[in-house]
């Protein structure tokens, strides 16, 4: 659950499941809504990134591969590689790596001044979300 800092009112209730991806997905979904100003569905449809802590070879460090979802801009992928990251673009059914989430959000329409409930459900899974009042 996320509240608005100004008055403590409800902003949204959401969750992203996905094991190692879960906390990373929560941050990305939150930033999509608050910083990028995306709707719940746009937020969930956006390509995600997952820093994967693969098991190291003997006497080696963890393999911190940066997995990026298909649809991520190519300049972003190349920028990560130029910074020295090991980047893997994940496609198709393997995109389940990036978790599955749902969002229910409440906001006041700036023109009408009325409360609006909206929801989004992740295309990576088979769930659904709707604000039941």
Going from N- to C-terminal start, the domains of the chain cover 2-121
pTM: 0.85
Assign residue 46 a region: left if phi > 0, alpha if psi is -120 to 50, beta otherwise?
Answer: beta
**Sequence-ordered alpha helix ranges (H) in 53-105:** 74-82
The C-alpha atoms of residue 128 and residue 114 are separated, in whole angstroms, by 25
Token readout for 119 is 């929801």
- Decide if domain 2-121 falls under CATH 3.60.20.40: yes
The tens-digit pLDDT sequence of the chain (133 residues) is 999 999 999 999 999 998 889 999 999 999 999 999 999 999 999 999 999 876 666 666 667 889 999 999 999 999 999 999 999 999 998 998 999 999 999 988 889 999 999 999 998 888 887 777 7
């Amino acid at each position: 659950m996320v509240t608005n800092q100004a008055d403590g009112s409800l902003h949204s209730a959401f969750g992203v499941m996905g094991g190692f991806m879960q906390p990373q997905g929560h941050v990305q979904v939150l930033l999509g809504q608050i910083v990028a100003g995306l709707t719940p569905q746009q937020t969930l449809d956006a390509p995600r990134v997952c820093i994967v802590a693969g098991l190291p070879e003997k006497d080696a460090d963890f393999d911190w591969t940066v997995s990026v979802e298909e649809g991520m801009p190519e300049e972003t992928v190349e920028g990560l590689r130029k910074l020295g990251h090991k980047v893997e673009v994940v496609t198709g059914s393997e995109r389940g790596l990036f978790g599955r989430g749902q969002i229910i959000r409440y906001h006041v329409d700036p023109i009408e001044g009325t409360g609006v409930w909206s929801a989004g459900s992740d295309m990576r899974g088979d769930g659904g979300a709707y604000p039941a009042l």
